[in-house]
Amino acid sequence: MKLRVLLIDDHTLFRVGLEGLLAHRNIDVIASIGDGQEGLHCASELKPDVVLLDMRMPDINGIGVLKKLRENGFRNPVVMLTTSTDERDLVESLRNGAQGYLLKDMEPDELVLALRDIVGGKTVVAPDLAPVLAKVVQSDGSLPDEASPFDELTPRENEILSLLAEGQSNKVIARNLGISDGTVKLHVKAILRKLGVHSRVEAAVIAVEQGLRGNRDGSA
């Protein structure tokens, strides 16, 4: 019986190439979609035997699509087909219900075998990622620590950010720290760039949310 596959990937050339490869191996790509939201609709309407899903996509990424598929009651296998060898991506995918995590550089025949195994009830992870999976299994199975938005900030920038979070102006910060207004402005500019925000208000909000306010001397 022909496998019916839904392919969701934002790279058109990759989709077209993969469709051809799968068609030559008696696998029917019933729809090839470049958008996660449209892919969700197609999965609901067409009920494919398996969904092949890219990890990195604009608008809604692969994990987001995977979660939505499961929330919407889609129970057939979902397979991540990606270039990402990141441990977090692998663990998040499996944790959210993916039955496979395969890499785009694998041989076409290996992909077909993996798809048939997955539809048959197995969970398949790309052989190259076996050491990563083993490491996670041997640990407590938790994800790597989340990176803090403040990791790139210098101690002085953290200090200034905590004062921003208290609502202090550049003049007051400069007086408190014994530095010039110009130096404070330069630090604030660097803080905004590193946090990826456009205003001191946004930076202050992040600082408060992350509990930085009042912690510049190490106290709670």
Q: Which tokens in the block code for residue 89?
A: 């991506």
**In this predicted model, what pLDDT tens digit does every residue of 115-135 receive, in sequence order?**
999 999 998 998 888 787 777
Distances (CA, A) of 198 to 9, 72, 108, 184, 190: 32, 36, 46, 16, 11
Mean pLDDT of the chain: 86
Highest mean pLDDT among 65-69, 158-162, 202-206: 65-69
pLDDT of residue 130: 79
Contact 125, 41 (CB under 8 A): no
- Reported confidence tier of residue 73, pLDDT bands at 50, 70, 90: very high
155-209 under CATH 1.10.10.10, yes or no: yes
Residues with Cβ < 8 Å from 101, sequence gap 6 or more? Answer: 79, 80, 82, 89, 90, 93, 94, 124, 125, 126, 129
pLDDT of residue 220: 33
pLDDT at 170 exceeding the cut of 80: yes
Domain at 3-138, CATH from 3.40.50.2300, 3.40.718.10, 3.30.450.20, 3.10.180.10:
3.40.50.2300
pLDDT at 145 exceeding the cut of 70: no
pLDDT of residue 127: 85
Count the Cβ atoms, other than its own, within 10 Å of residue 130. Answer: 10
pLDDT of residue 104: 92
pLDDT at 60 exceeding the cut of 90: no
The structure tokens 């993916």 sit at 98
In angstroms, the CA 30 to CA 53 distance is: 14
Q: Which tokens in the block code for residue 176?
A: 């408190």
Phi/psi for 99 (5° steps) reads -95, 0
- Reported confidence tier of residue 76, pLDDT bands at 50, 70, 90: very high
Q: Where in the chain is the domain with CATH 1.10.10.10?
A: 155-209
**In this predicted model, what pLDDT tens digit does every residue of 207-220 receive, in sequence order?**
877 766 544 443 33
High-pLDDT (> 90) share of the chain, %: 55
- Reported confidence tier of residue 6, pLDDT bands at 50, 70, 90: very high
pLDDT of residue 37: 92
Which of the pair, 19 or 201, is modelled with greater confidence? 19
Contact 88, 59 (CB under 8 A): no
- Reported confidence tier of residue 183, pLDDT bands at 50, 70, 90: very high
Q: Where in the chain is the domain with CATH 3.40.50.2300?
A: 3-138
